[in-house]
Structure formats: structure tokens, C-alpha cells
């Protein structure tokens, strides 16, 4: 069984540029999560989807961050414009509906210069 797939694995951009991350969850997993992990910290939830509905986006900085999961499968997280403080690892995870265990992708490491 394929795990959670994320791309790209690494991204270096200049501040004020846009950037997008893509995630394909484990097949059949209804719930998808985007996390941000700063260096030396644990992951912090940005947004959670149940199918195509964002059910928890309270921690998503909506002035510059957006996300979509149009068909309830893969998802894209976008930052526009990026700031220096956005440098972090962006992790995607998925779980089955009602599942308590989350399965993480390898993450996208973003560096904003």
C-alpha cells in the first residue's frame, strides 16, 4: 500500500513569491491534514479536511495561506506571498474516517530567502 505522497520534497524561494505544496493521501482515507513543523518543534495543525470540506482551519493564516481539496482526494496548500518566517517543513497526513492514527508523508522543506 502506498503511503502519503508529497511534492516537492524541497523548495527554495525568495520572499514575496508564491509557493504551492501537493499531497496525495493514502487511498480511501477521508481525512487529510496539513501541518507546519518549525525547526526543533512538533507539528502544528494548519487545516483538516473531511472529504472535500475544511472542518478545522482555525489555525490557518488566511491572509496568505490557502488550501483546497476539490474532489476529496489530493490537496494543495498555497502560500502567497511567502515570508521569511514561513520557512519550515510542511507535513501532510491522512487517516480513515473516525480513525485515530494519522499517517504522515515525508514533508516539504521550504526555505524562504
Considering only CA atoms, which of 86, 92, 90 is closest in space to residue 111?
Answer: 86
Interaction of residue 27 with other proteins, rule CB under 8 A:
no
Q: Which is nearer to other proteins, 81 or 106 (CB)?
A: 106
Interaction of residue 44 with other proteins, rule CB under 8 A:
yes
The rounded distance, in Å, linking the Cα atoms of 93 and 31 is 8
Interaction of residue 94 with other proteins, rule CB under 8 A:
no
Interaction of residue 104 with other proteins, rule CB under 8 A:
yes
Interaction of residue 46 with other proteins, rule CB under 8 A:
no
Residues 43, 67, 88, 94: which binds other proteins (CB under 8 A)? 43
The rounded distance, in Å, linking the Cα atoms of 89 and 98 is 26
**Do the beta carbons of residue 37 and residue 89 sit within 8 Å?**
yes
Interaction of residue 75 with other proteins, rule CB under 8 A:
no
The rounded distance, in Å, linking the Cα atoms of 106 and 63 is 26
Amino acid at each position: 500500500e502506498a503511503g502519503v505522497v508529497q511534492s516537492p520534497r524541497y523548495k527554495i524561494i525568495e520572499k514575496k513569491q508564491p509557493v504551492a505544496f501537493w499531497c496525495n493521501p493514502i487511498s480511501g482515507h477521508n481525512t487529510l491534514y496539513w501541518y507546519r513543523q518549525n525547526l526543533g518543534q512538533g507539528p502544528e495543525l494548519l487545516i483538516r479536511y473531511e472529504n472535500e470540506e475544511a472542518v478545522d482551519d482555525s489555525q490557518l493564516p488566511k491572509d496568505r495561506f490557502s488550501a483546497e481539496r476539490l474532489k476529496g482526494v489530493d490537496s494543495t496548500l498555497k502560500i502567497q506571498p511567502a515570508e521569511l518566517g514561513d520557512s519550515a517543513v510542511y507535513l501532510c497526513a491522512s487517516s480513515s474516517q473516525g480513525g485515530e492514527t494519522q499517517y504522515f508523508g515525508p514533508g516539504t522543506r521550504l526555505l524562504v530567502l
